Structure 1
């Protein structure tokens, strides 16, 4: 059985979306968002140091995915949950590329 790591899953997303003309990698603050994908100057997805895949989505969509057990609201470390950010565990069966595309569309509006 082949084990897929969060880093390898994220690398596939970076590879797939970096060809998009409005997407760039990095540019965030050192640490938070350092390897994030951005459109314009706005982060739409990233991999955290805890190997969580994090995407920015409408708060209603985040609530829907949390309710279905497909993720949780993202806490960047200061104890305040971010309503428009979904954290997905490395072992999630969610399609990360689909979520990243959804986040790109949301942030790119």
Structure 2
């Protein structure tokens, strides 16, 4: 699925609207101001029009191998082992739910 990333992220946020442990984007933080959080920890965010999610390192590697996304690079171009930039064609809702479950357990 492709389309306007802001609209897709808005729709993704709506899928988590009824989850009491999920905080919707907003606030005064520059980093993570467009992020879904649980327990004050980010599990999905929109960065440069791309969905970025936190998953176990092994799952990130698997997702890169199967074309679901690519490793997210931090502000200094350093690859982050537990963060995946999700492909535009991937199911954002499914992967965000997986990220939510992973972060909520930590």
- TM-score by length of structure 2 reads 0.90
Which residue pairs with 1:11 in the alignment?
10
Which residue pairs with 2:77 in the alignment?
79
Distance 1:28 1:84, change over 3 A: farther
The equivalences for 1:47-58 within 5 A come to 47-48=46-47, 50-58=48-56
Deviation at 1:69, TM superposition (A): 1.7
Which residue pairs with 1:21 in the alignment?
20
- TM-score by length of structure 1 reads 0.88
Structure 2 unmatched ranges of 5 or more: none
Residue by residue, what CA displacement relative to the aligned partner does 1:10-62 show, whole Å, maximum 9, x if unpaired? 111101102100000234721x21120000110000001x1110000011000
Structure 1 unmatched ranges of 5 or more: none
Which residue pairs with 1:40 in the alignment?
39
Structure with the largest fraction of strand = 2
SS of residue paired to 2:20 = coil
Counting matched residue pairs gives: 103
SS of residue paired to 1:84 = strand
Distance 1:64 1:38, change over 3 A: same
Structure 1 CA distance, aligned partners of 2:94 and 2:28?
Answer: 23
